[in-house]
Amino acid sequence: MKKPTLQEVFTIPNILSYFRILLIPLFVYWYLSAETPAQFFRAAVVLGISGLTDTFDGRIARRFNQITELGILLDPVADKLTEGAVVLCLLTRYSRIWLLVALYVLKEGFMAVAGLVMLRRGKKLDGAKWFGKVCTFVFYIVTVLLILWVDIPLSAANGLILLCGGVMAFTLAMYIPVFLKMSREVKSGKD
């Protein structure tokens, strides 16, 4: 990867990704110090703003031809840091979140290792797949519900956690054949 120019570093989509990264400590602080529904709502608003900027950075990049190699790396890093912070914060209130932590580490670890192996072989994943987008959507819906619904019954919280875990496991299972196919294409010399 060549060194990005100042213009590439400060594209609008990249600035939105930097902003999302800067929101992480604010979310963590507000969530961990929250005691009232209004304070949890404030933390959820920060997460919502982060989600909105994530939605718009890709659209802006494509619309205004501001796709950069830095942005291609920065966007998923901001996603993973945000999602990791949210899961770890929720672990302080919901013991079953360990399931999501384990699945999250397994799924993202697989994606990172498989992605790096393919990148070293000159091939990269052609954008997020539909099941990856569904997983992210379900993750944010479940986590925002767990943040906002302060008095959620434990059985409902555990049900949401299991739902999200099931979608994560499904997504991991769907990505495995994608990377296997990419590996076979590299071995056979296809692009």
* Domains of the chain with bracketed CATH: 1-90 (1.20.120.1760), 95-191 (no CATH)
165-184: pLDDT as tens digits = 999 999 999 999 998 888 88
Looking at the predicted structure, is the pLDDT value of residue 23 above 80?
yes
Q: How confident is the model at residue 162 (pLDDT cuts 50, 70, 90)?
A: very high
> What whole-number distance in Å separates Cα of residue 144 and Cα of residue 41?
9
Q: How confident is the model at residue 2 (pLDDT cuts 50, 70, 90)?
A: low
Q: What is the DSSP string of 81-130?
A: HHHHHHHHHHTTT-TTHHHHHHHHHHHHHHHHHHHHHHHHTT----S--H
> What whole-number distance in Å separates Cα of residue 74 and Cα of residue 88?
21
* CB within 8 Å of 74: residues ≥ 6 apart: 14, 17, 18
Query: What would the two tokens of residue 25 be?
Result: 């400590």
Region 100-118: what's the mean pLDDT? 88
What pLDDT is attached to residue 43?
95
Region 94-115: what's the mean pLDDT? 89
Confirm whether pTM is higher than 0.85. Answer: no
> What whole-number distance in Å separates Cα of residue 62 and Cα of residue 111?
24
Rounded to 5°, the CA angle 99-104-108 comes to 160
Share of the chain above pLDDT 70, in %: 96
Compute the residue count for the chain: 191
